[in-house]
Amino acid sequence: MELSASTFQPELRRSLQYSSPLDSYFRCGTPRRERIGTSSRLHTPVWKSPRGISASADSPHCVSEVDFEPRGFGEKGRIHFVGVGGSGLSALAMLALKQGYMVSGSDIAWSSYMDALKEAGASLYVGHSERNLHWNGEISSFPQAVVVSSAIPPENVEVLIAKSRGVPVYKRGGWLGKITKDYNLIAVSGSHGKSTTTSMLAYVLKAMGDDLTAVIGAQVPQFSGGNVIYGDSHNFVLEADEYDGCFLGLSPHVAIVTNLDWDHVDIYQDEEAVKEIFRKFLGRVRTHGHLIVYGDKQGPSLGACSLLNHPIKVSDALNYVKSPYGANRYNITTFGMSSYNNWQASSVSPNSHGGCDYQLCHNGHPVTEISLQIPGDHNVLNSLAVIAAINAIFGDDRQLYESIDTVKSHLNNFKGVCRRFEYIGKIHGCRIFDDYAHHPTEVRCVLEAARRTFPSEELLVVFQPHTYSRLAAMMSEFASAFSEADRVIVTEVYAARETNVWNIGGEDLAMFVTSPTCDFISCLENVISELVDMVSKNRRRQLVILTLGAGDITLVGRKVLRELEQKFNQESSLLFL
């Protein structure tokens, strides 16, 4: 049930003389999983709805014919992860370790994600081979199940051997459906902002006392597990990825759609194809569940509100959606900057902490002031989705109203996600930041946030295009996305999983950017030399360097900082000789 507008009238506000009702709920009322035989089930006072659609209804995410039921905690089964070096699969491998499984995995190259897995006890291999499936060299020892990254082709040797031996092989989406089916799943989807919204929601719930489980596709400095939280409550917060239809294996109780944009052009041919896959995802939301969707009809990403098959009405505090599975299946809440949304942010302004302040409104009525440590309108929207989700999870007007100060306090304490406007360091007048932005919408949003945070500093952007297909499809959008910068350096394309059949490169983008000044420097090592030389020549220059991209561009900022520090230290030492 949504909060009524009158709930937030100032004269009705209560003085909190005791612990938050949500704190009490988490301490005393949180259901625990009962382990019975080889499965688990939930006793939950919050969700009264039926289980709804099974996790395997729409998509054959188990690519072998033999099914698998995860064993209970503590039994020594083994799960093997193929493509374990990526952010998505490494998180699932870490969760499996925390759940008591033995874990093995392989990837074509070692990654930083694998460091933490190895330290936690996983057996990891570089390269793909049949012997990777064996445990301690025992030829007869095969895993209970094999989980495969979307980037792994079906002819992978480990996949073929596992299927030939009757070992069930799961794509990531199918595995996620298996491990979340007995939880109250809160799935955070969208073209942009998934990692930040998921981690922000998990952080706030954890800080409020929920012993939840969460899996995020990025490292979160405030989480001891990096991108995984493993707890014993009924809530599971998950970053739900649309790539390769991964989220179609889920059956969420609460689904968030942060926005909708054309991305993953190697999978979806146009924006309508993206809308179609999201519509299928909305069909996965459980009966009497909740959809939380970005509702603005103006802005950088307009597709989300088009998923709703009826107009959004200002007076609707609670909307319903019709679906192929029956009418009025679940509730809808909208959020955004416009006044017709259920949750709205107004009067957004930068604050002294480098983040944003805004006025929170509910159904047109002011509620409270929210302050964030992280910058940008996009993060304001992410926080609105979190507030709406917390209301949907608990569904009690008085509880959330009495706890709103607690919620805003935890939002204020959230420090963000790695590679999302991540501060690398400062030397003399130069500050260095790194961001994962690799889509024109993301580039534009992060540069607007940077310009708002540093209105008078010179802003230099180093951009590494990610995949040839995305660059070819969005060349003009990329060319216009850098308008807030003072100078841009474009590197060669990070190919990822692709070969260059488009005959296109970073130099083509550099030629398309007419304003600001844009240069093409192919090699990252040459970019580092250029930046070190530039800062060394004018140490009083007030400069912000922002590295952008989803590839190895993330290494550049730290290398620049390290070389500058070494250079200045050497010069200082010579002065005392």
Q: Under a CB-based contact definition with an 8 Å cutoff, are residues 258 and 299 in contact?
A: no
Residue 231: both structure tokens together: 């707890």
Residue 89: both structure tokens together: 């699969």
Q: Under a CB-based contact definition with an 8 Å cutoff, are residues 394 and 184 in contact?
A: no
Q: How many helices (H) and strands (E) does the chain have?
A: 16, 24
Residue 501: CB partners within 8 Å, gap ≥ 6? 468
Q: Under a CB-based contact definition with an 8 Å cutoff, are residues 28 and 134 in contact?
A: no
Nearest residue to 488 via CA among 524, 525, 448, 460: 460
Alpha carbons 132 and 80: distance in angstroms, whole number: 9
DSSP state of 286: P
Residue 169: CB partners within 8 Å, gap ≥ 6? 62, 63, 64, 145, 146, 147, 148, 159, 162, 163
Task: Please state at what angle helix 377-394 crosses helix 440-453, rounded to 10 degrees.
Answer: 110
Q: Which residue has the tokens 């005392």?
A: 576
Torsion of the alpha carbons at 276, 280, 283 and 289, rounded to the nearest 10: -90
Q: Which residue has the tokens 């991209």?
A: 549
Alpha carbons 341 and 330: distance in angstroms, whole number: 18
Note the pLDDT of residue 570.
82
Residue 51: both structure tokens together: 């289980």
Note the pLDDT of residue 444.
94
Residue 371: CB partners within 8 Å, gap ≥ 6? 351, 353, 355, 356, 357, 408, 411, 412
> Is residue 499 classed exposed, middle or buried when 0-12, 13-18 and 19+ CB atoms within 10 A define those classes?
exposed
Nearest residue to 103 via CA among 34, 116, 163: 116
What are phi and psi for residue 181, nearest 5 degrees? -65, -25
Q: Under a CB-based contact definition with an 8 Å cutoff, are residues 75 and 100 in contact?
A: yes
pTM comes to: 0.83
Residue 179: CB partners within 8 Å, gap ≥ 6? 70, 92, 95
Note the pLDDT of residue 309.
60
Alpha carbons 52 and 488: distance in angstroms, whole number: 50
Note the pLDDT of residue 64.
46
Q: Which residues of the chain have a pLDDT value below 50?
A: 1-60, 64-66, 71-74, 310-327
Note the pLDDT of residue 572.
72
> Is residue 28 classed exposed, middle or buried when 0-12, 13-18 and 19+ CB atoms within 10 A define those classes?
exposed
Note the pLDDT of residue 2.
34
Residue 507: both structure tokens together: 């130099």
What are phi and psi for residue 197, nearest 5 degrees? -65, -45
